[in-house]
């Protein structure tokens, strides 16, 4: 490999590592105020697999995706309440006020006014990671994503 390119890639890797540390410190330390022992447990769990990392790093996810130039964001004059941490484990069944069993999202502690595209993108990533973890084929993953997007649109 070209020495200059190798140096650039090495620098990029170091900067990303520093960025990760800064982001996790900002969220888990300053915002969530997790103790060192709680953070240690969280990070150990995040090391289990890519889906666990994804679940524990919503703040990092948003740090990265807000840099993507999306065309169809929610208009500024029509804010949308989004879940903020959309993934499979934030869905469950529960009883509604009429005592009917309902399957819906159940975790809004990271909800905020933002673009609906972030919830869609985060759920698509969740579908892909969970499907990969369950060893579904690429074709099956594509079908799951397609079904999700059709249901969301409906």
Instruction: Tell me what the mean pLDDT of segment 120-125 comes to.
Output: 94
**pTM greater than 0.85:** no
Angle at 131 between CA 50 and CA 72, to 5 degrees: 85
Confidence check: pLDDT of 115 > 90: no
Q: 121 is written with which tokens?
A: 């993108």
What one-character DSSP code corresponds to residue 122? H
Instruction: Tell me what the mean pLDDT of segment 13-26 comes to.
Output: 91
Q: In terms of pLDDT, which residue wins out, 115 or 42?
A: 42
pLDDT (0 to 100) of residue 131: 95
Own/partner contacts of 69-78, CB < 8 Å, gap of 24 or more, are: 70/115, 70/117, 72/117, 73/115, 73/117, 74/114, 74/115, 74/116, 74/117
- Worst-scoring range by mean pLDDT, 26-30, 51-55, 69-73, 133-137? 69-73
Confidence label for 4 from pLDDT (cuts 50, 70 and 90):
very high
Clarify whether residues 43 and 54 are in a common domain: no
Domain that holds residue 8: 1-47
pLDDT (0 to 100) of residue 83: 83
Distance CA 113, CA 87 (A): 18
Number of domains in the chain: 2
Clarify whether residues 17 and 72 are in a common domain: no
Share of the chain above pLDDT 90, in %: 52
Clarify whether residues 91 and 66 are in a common domain: yes
Q: What is the pLDDT of residues 38-97, one digit of tens each?
A: 999 999 999 999 999 999 998 898 888 888 887 888 888 888 888 888 888 888 888 989
Clarify whether residues 93 and 136 are in a common domain: yes
Clarify whether residues 1 and 77 are in a common domain: no
């Amino acid at each position: 490999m070209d020495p200059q390119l190798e140096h650039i890639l090495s620098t990029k890797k170091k900067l990303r590592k520093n960025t990760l540390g800064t982001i996790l410190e900002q969220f888990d330390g300053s915002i969530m105020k997790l103790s060192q022992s709680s953070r240690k447990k969280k990070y150990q769990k995040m090391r289990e697999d890519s889906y666990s990392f994804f679940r524990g790093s919503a703040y990092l996810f948003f740090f990265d995706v807000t840099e993507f130039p999306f065309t169809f964001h929610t208009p500024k004059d029509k804010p949308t309440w989004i879940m903020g941490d959309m993934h499979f484990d934030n869905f469950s069944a529960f009883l509604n006020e009429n005592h009917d069993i309902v399957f819906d999202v159940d975790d809004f502690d990271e909800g905020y006014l933002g673009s609906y595209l972030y919830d869609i993108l985060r759920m698509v990533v969740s579908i892909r990671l969970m499907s990969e973890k369950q060893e579904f084929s690429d074709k099956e993953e594509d079908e799951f994503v397609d079904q999700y997007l059709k249901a969301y649109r409906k």
